[in-house]
Amino acid sequence: MATETSNTIRVWGDETFGEVKDLAALVARARLELDELEEAMRAGDIAEAGREAADVVILLHRLVALAGLDLDDQVDAKMAINRARSWKAAGDGTGGHV
C-alpha cells in the first residue's frame, strides 16, 4: 500500500468532493470530526476513535496542501519550536508553554 502525503490526499479530496472554495470550510469540517472523535473516546470505542482521528488528520493534510504546504513538514518544524520552549504541565496530561 502506498504511503499517503498531503498532496495525494489533496488530489483525492479534490476528485472526490470538488474544489474547495473556502479553506475555512475544511476547518469547520475538522471540528465536526473532532467532536466525533471526542464522542468515540468518551464511549470507550478505541477503534472508532482511531478512525475519527484519521479523519481529522486527512482534513488537515488536505487543508495544508491546498495552501501549498506539507503537513509532515509543518509538524516537524513546529516540534522543533515546541522542543525549544519551556512548558508547564496542567496535571491532566496537557499544559502550555511559559
pLDDT at 35: 98
pLDDT at 56: 97
pLDDT at 47: 98
What is the torsion angle, in degrees rounded to the nearest 10, for the CA atoms of residue 57, residue 71, residue 64 and residue 49? 10
pLDDT at 2: 75
pLDDT at 10: 97
d(CA 20, CA 46): 31
Ranges of the chain with pLDDT below 70: none
CB 15 within 8 A of CB 38: no
pLDDT at 44: 98
Is 21-83 a domain of CATH 1.10.287.1080?
Answer: yes
- Cβ neighbours of residue 6 under 8 Å, at least 6 residues apart? 61, 62, 64, 65, 69, 70, 71, 72
pLDDT at 59: 97
